[in-house]
């Protein structure tokens, strides 16, 4: 597929062209600049990027599936980026729990992409931001990013998302984990999933109490039973309300500018890392001494 044909395919909502464009960018192809420079800035600006994160077992994939189904009832085009863990050695990814969303695989107005973290602790692969922009430029009014949920270090999601959902469930000790991880402070909406289980009301009250401390505007808490699609319509109403507030206040644009700057910084570090490692290896530095001062000296010599 030539670059001109690829760009035409993107404008015509060709799922094959979308997938191909993301792959080219992900692999660092020479055509990446032409692809990313040709995107529709207005469509990207209008799209809502929703981040879904939380600990394992909270039901993130099931909730994501329910949100997709609800949005499709309004005939909205949806993009999904599902981030999966991968081996830092081989780069191999699990890409396993996408099965829960397979009912949308044949929907022409849903484009789904599984991406591997490739060893990044933050839970997002380096090209997730580009994938988001490609999907938005092609007409996705909503792009959903679901993180791996393998620990408490998946904070990168906050940078890309306009709105972040922290999904918790009763009986998993999630309230304590989330408080320790600091996720409560960065989430825009707290979702207590599996609300039909014992302890859900208590968890919701605890979360409300925590977010009220030291804050004039507590983080909203939504209750869902994703397996039965209960509470999802109300959750989407809450998402729309928060999104509108962020657009009006300028918070949305502020977040996107910060995300862009951080993305460029990440790529700077990605490019410099192998060069610096080669320099460090060549020097054969002594094991004793302050590594920070050694790093400072190496950078000054570059």
What's the rounded Cα separation, in Å, for the pair 11 and 123? 30
| End-to-end alpha carbon distance in the chain | 41
Please give the average per-residue pLDDT across 190-212, as a whole number: 91
What sign results for the dihedral spanned by CA atoms 226, 228, 229, 231? negative
Nearest CA to 187 out of 160, 208, 158 is that of: 158
Q: Is 41 exposed, middle or buried (0-12, 13-18, 19+ CB in 10 A)?
A: exposed
As a whole number of angstroms, the longest Cα–Cα distance in the chain is 63
Residue 269 has pLDDT above 90, yes or no: no
According to DSSP, the β-strands at 189-192 and 142-146 are unpaired
Burial pattern 44-58, b for ≥16 Cβ within 10 A else e, equals beebbbbbbbbbeeb
Report the 10 Å Cβ neighbour count for 156.
27
Burial pattern 182-206, b for ≥16 Cβ within 10 A else e, equals ebbebbbbbbbbbbeeeebeebbeb
Report the 10 Å Cβ neighbour count for 149.
21
**Residues 25, 137 contacting (CB under 8 angstroms):** no
**Residues 158, 184 contacting (CB under 8 angstroms):** no
**126-142 pLDDT per residue, tens:** 688 899 999 999 999 99
What does pTM read for this prediction?
A: 0.86
**161-183 pLDDT per residue, tens:** 999 999 999 987 655 555 555 66
**228-242 pLDDT per residue, tens:** 999 999 999 999 999
Q: What is the dihedral of CA 281, 287, 293, 294, to 10 degrees?
A: -20
Nearest CA to 252 out of 189, 188, 184, 181 is that of: 188
Residue 205 has which token pair? 């009250």
Q: What is the dihedral of CA 58, 60, 66, 67, to 10 degrees?
A: 130
**Residues 175, 207 contacting (CB under 8 angstroms):** yes
What's the rounded Cα separation, in Å, for the pair 226 and 215? 29
pLDDT of residue 248: 96
Report the 10 Å Cβ neighbour count for 132.
24
**63-119 pLDDT per residue, tens:** 999 999 999 999 899 999 887 665 444 444 444 445 555 667 778 899 988 877 655
């Amino acid at each position: 597929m030539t670059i001109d044909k690829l760009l035409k395919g993107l404008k015509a909502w060709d799922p094959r062209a979308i997938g191909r464009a993301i792959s080219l960018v992900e692999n660092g192809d020479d055509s990446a600049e032409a692809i990313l420079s040709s995107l529709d800035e207005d469509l990207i600006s209008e799209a809502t990027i929703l981040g879904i994160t939380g600990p394992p077992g909270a039901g993130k994939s099931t909730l994501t599936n329910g949100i997709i189904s609800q949005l499709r009832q309004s005939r909205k085009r949806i993009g999904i980026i599902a981030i999966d863990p991968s081996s830092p050695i081989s780069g191999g990814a699990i890409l396993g729990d996408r099965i829960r969303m397979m009912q949308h695989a044949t929907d022409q107005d849903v484009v789904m992409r599984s991406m591997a973290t490739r060893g990044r602790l933050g839970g997002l692969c380096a090209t997730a931001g580009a994938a988001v922009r490609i999907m938005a430029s092609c007409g996705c009014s909503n792009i959903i990013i679901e993180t791996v949920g393998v620990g408490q270090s998946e904070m990168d999601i906050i940078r890309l998302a306009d709105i972040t959902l922290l999904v918790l469930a009763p009986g998993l000790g999630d309230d304590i984990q989330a408080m320790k991880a600091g996720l409560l402070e960065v989430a825009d909406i707290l979702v207590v999933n599996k609300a039909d289980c014992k302890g859900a009301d208590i968890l919701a009250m605890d979360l409300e109490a925590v977010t009220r401390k030291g804050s004039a505007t507590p983080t909203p808490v939504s209750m869902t039973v994703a397996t039965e699609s209960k509470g999802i319509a109300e959750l989407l109403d809450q998402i729309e309300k928060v999104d509108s507030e962020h657009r009006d206040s300028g918070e949305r644009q502020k977040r996107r500018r910060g995300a862009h700057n951080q993305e460029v910084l990440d790529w700077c570090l990605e490019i410099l890392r192998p060069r610096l490692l080669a320099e460090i290896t060549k020097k054969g530095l002594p094991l004793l001494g302050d590594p920070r001062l050694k790093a400072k000296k190496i950078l000054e010599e570059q």
